[in-house]
Chains A and B, each alone.
Chain A
Amino acid sequence: MYELKAVDKKFPGVHALKSVDFHVKRGEIVGLVGENGAGKSTLMKVIYGAYLPDGGTVSINGKPVRLQNPRQAMEMGIGMVFQEQSLIANLTVMENIFLGYEAQFVRFGVINWKAMADAARKQLAKVKLDIDPAMVTSQLSFAQRQLVELAKVLTLEERVQGDLVILLDEPTSVLAEDEVKMLFSIIRELTSRASFIFVSHRMDEVMELSDRIYVMKDGQVVDTVERGKSSPEAIQQKMVGRNVDKEYYREHRQKSFDASAELLKLEGVSLAGRIRDIALTLHRGEVLCLVGTEGSGREAILRTIYGMLTPTAGKVTIKGEAMDRFTARAAVERGIGYVPRERKIEGIVAGMNVYENMTLSQMGSYSKGGVLNVGAEKALARDWISRLAIKAHSEYADCGNLSGGNQQKVVLAKWRSGGSDIMLLDHPTRGLDIGAKEDVYEMIRDMSDDGAGVVLVADTLEEAIGLSHTILVIKDGEIQKRFACEPGAKPTLFDLLHYMI
């Protein structure tokens, strides 16, 4: 019914989709799996009209179509339920459901709220959600919001003639087990009216729900698996291209840290509306992982340590010295390095070359009286390019043109070459391919061996568990639970989720 043939998409420096064939039959649930950077999100964006493919054809019921934007895609019956929820928190549920399509309720320029509420109730009934449509969205739980998202997309049913295709991007990532079950039963019932494309990192869920699974790797569909024809391990292996075991996170290199060597201590640190009463201690050789949902306050903690945010209460002690002035400069001078989540925006300066990026945080050490010693800078860059096997034609390469993994290496080299021994890593492997991820994991273990302390916000829970010595679960800006993560005695995903939501 919905079909992609030989679809190609290129971005500067990345071939994101390589001749992808993909189709969805009527009433089918299709799973889509792949590592970060395998091309899943690009493929989804092509499907719901956010990207135009560079090559290949998109057709619906055999007719080729050209979807210029998501709205056009919606008019063709293709809807998207976003992972990072797209509902506007301060609007009511019904306003969110009919956002952009209020015209049907307007009489003489005035919205008939009653009619909208009735229509919204009808949509909510489809997902078995019994709430007042006039409720403000921010009062709903995560699971309820997820269902409202789905209800919003299901309004397509009334608006569009013909079949629906609904994309679900990681719909279960913030749901508890029983909520997942409920969502799945709703989805199964809805297959009478729509087909679904289901994207998730959780292999067991994809296997449970999908009739067919597309496995993507490096921008290609490497396999399609029918229901019950494969095991999670086999699929995982196809995604990664080889066996994945616990060596992946280099657990064999995890050594116990020195609990007497304190690097960093937070006591009662609060930031109005963001975090409350945070207390933590980081030691030499320790990897301390902050775990929580989006917006739980993990990033605020990192940024407070880095001096980009000034806490409203509490004490931050770095290597025995209490901080009184919160600036990034002061943090850098005390040996803190920060690898931000938005690598392309905050990590590297695109338009500057490798050596310029590497010395940006430490220009003082490569200059005298404000005059730069460019020779020394270049030597440093050459050294680290070979040490970390950075793929750049030379130290003159524009960092904006490097691949994600190599950009991340430049960022890490920037801090490590300056001797930073408190490293704050925010999603350091986000968007990297497997090989680059493993390089980052190696580097984290190297840092531990060198006696550096790492505060990590991981990309996935598995990564958090695999890498850390200590896990702190954060929820609504507060620490809920501390887990020790010695190899062999690591907490499970479910242990963590229990405290996250």
Chain B
Amino acid sequence: MSIHQLKSHFPWITLLVLVAIVGINDPNFLKPVNLLSLAGDIVPLFIMALGLTFAIYIGGIDLSAQSMANMITVVASVYLASFGPWVALLCVAAGFALGMVSGYVTTKLLVPSFISTLAVGGVCFSMAKWLSGNRALNMEAAQRDSTFGWMIGHTGMIPNELFIAAALLALCIFIERRTTLGRALKAVGAGELAAAASGVNVARYKILAFAISGALAAVAGLLFAVKLSGGAPTIANGFLLPAIVAVLVGGTPLTGGVGGVINTAIGTLLVAVIRASMLYFGIEATQQQMVFGLVLIVAIALTIDRSKLRIVK
């Protein structure tokens, strides 16, 4: 097996090696309870990364995901009282619509996605501040528990969040592998010009990819708000970098076309283990983003397809 073939197996090999290293240093780490809670804690990040995968899979990026999640925590906190469970629908619809805006700006106004999503992110952030009056909001505990309490409970020793994550992952795998949408996204990521020359409506599928990214960022925000029982315009800050890291170390390169949502699941676990190992090795929480920044650079440099990217600016 050549290096080239091996490359696609790097993510899970790295995952196993990291788990082993941390496990040898602290055998408690490998206890099922610990591993499950570790996995449960990372679910909001995972859902955000799952959405980001679609944007990156087509060769774009969604920098609005974090601000989207921020905004949704506020929206959920503000409207839970009046809408009850329907607030979930509102959140997802808002995420989907704002993602469509990013997609529209990217495909129709031809603004590169890193700028269009940054701009939409700015809009979300500001909307969160305005809606919340720039304060932290709390959900009413009883109402939260009665409407969304199931999200954060346990079934046996398994956190329910993991079931949500698994369901969303299954849905995304289905979209990616079995639907015309997934096939079109793959074609756009791997060879957009060929897809266009085959009569695929490239713009529509790109807009959909950003919309899915937005919708999943919204789900992540909702879950986060439920977990913390409230929302604030900056509550999810620090999510974006690890979420992008999760997608890229999982093996979906910035140039798109290969990888996919399974890769992101592995990538997210890698992020979780890196995070946990930082605790074991005594790296402070304030320093974590430094590590993720470095990991991100290494991951991009290793995974990017240079043949698709002749000129780098």
A196 CB within 8 Å of chain B: no
Complex contact A352–B199 (CB within 8 A): no
For the complex, would chain B's binding face be called helix, strand, loop or mixed by DSSP majority?
A: helix
Minimum CB–CB distance from A397 to chain B (whole Å) comes to 15
Q: What sequence of 0s and 1s flags, for each residue 326-362 of chain A, a beta carbon within 8 Å of any chain B beta carbon?
A: 0111011100001010100111111110001001110
Q: Which residues of B contact A342 (CB under 8 A)?
A: 193
Complex contact A367–B179 (CB within 8 A): yes
Q: What sequence of 0s and 1s flags, for each residue 237-257 of chain B, a beta carbon within 8 Å of any chain A beta carbon?
A: 000000000000000000001
B151 CB within 8 Å of chain A: no
Known: A328-B199, A331-B199, A360-B187. A345 touches B194 (CB 8 A): yes
Pick the contact of A349: B180, B181, B187 (CB < 8 A). B187
A370 CB within 8 Å of chain B: yes
Minimum CB–CB distance from A346 to chain B (whole Å) comes to 4
Complex contact A346–B179 (CB within 8 A): no
A372 CB within 8 Å of chain B: yes
B38 CB within 8 Å of chain A: no
Q: Which residues of B contact A349 (CB under 8 A)?
A: 186-187, 190-191, 194-195
Q: Which residues of B contact A333 (CB under 8 A)?
A: 199
Complex contact B184–A363 (CB within 8 A): yes
Find residues 354-389 in chain A having any chain B CB closer than 8 Å to their own CB: 356, 359-361, 363-364, 367, 370-372, 374
A308 CB within 8 Å of chain B: yes
Q: Which residues of B contact A327 (CB under 8 A)?
A: 199, 201
Pick the contact of A329: B181, B193, B201, B257 (CB < 8 A). B201
Nearest residue, chain A, Cβ from B258: A351
Q: Which residues of B contact A352 (CB under 8 A)?
A: 186-187, 190-191
Minimum CB–CB distance from A370 to chain B (whole Å) comes to 5
Minimum CB–CB distance from A491 to chain B (whole Å) comes to 31
A152 CB within 8 Å of chain B: no
Known: A347-B197, A360-B195. A371 touches B179 (CB 8 A): yes
Max chain B Cβ within 10 angstroms of own Cβ: one of A327, A342, A349: A349
Please report the C-alpha to C-alpha distance between residue A360 and residue B202 in the assembled complex, in whole angstroms.
12
A437 CB within 8 Å of chain B: no
Complex contact B194–A347 (CB within 8 A): yes
Minimum CB–CB distance from A423 to chain B (whole Å) comes to 13
A121 CB within 8 Å of chain B: no
Please report the C-alpha to C-alpha distance between residue A347 and residue B200 in the assembled complex, in whole angstroms.
13
A414 CB within 8 Å of chain B: yes
Q: Which residues of A contact B35 (CB under 8 A)?
A: none
Nearest residue, chain A, Cβ from B193: A346
Please report the C-alpha to C-alpha distance between residue A345 and residue B180 in the assembled complex, in whole angstroms.
21
Complex contact B181–A340 (CB within 8 A): no
B183 CB within 8 Å of chain A: yes
In addition to A327-B199, A351-B258, 16 A-B residue pairs with Cβ atoms within 8 Å of each other are: A308-B197, A327-B201, A328-B196, A329-B200, A346-B196, A347-B194, A347-B197, A349-B190, A349-B194, A351-B257, A352-B191, A359-B183, A360-B195, A361-B199, A371-B180, A372-B179
- A sample of 13 cross-chain residue pairs with beta-carbon separation below 8 angstroms, ordered by A number, consists of A329-B200, A329-B201, A331-B199, A342-B193, A349-B195, A351-B190, A351-B257, A352-B191, A356-B183, A360-B195, A360-B198, A371-B180, A372-B179
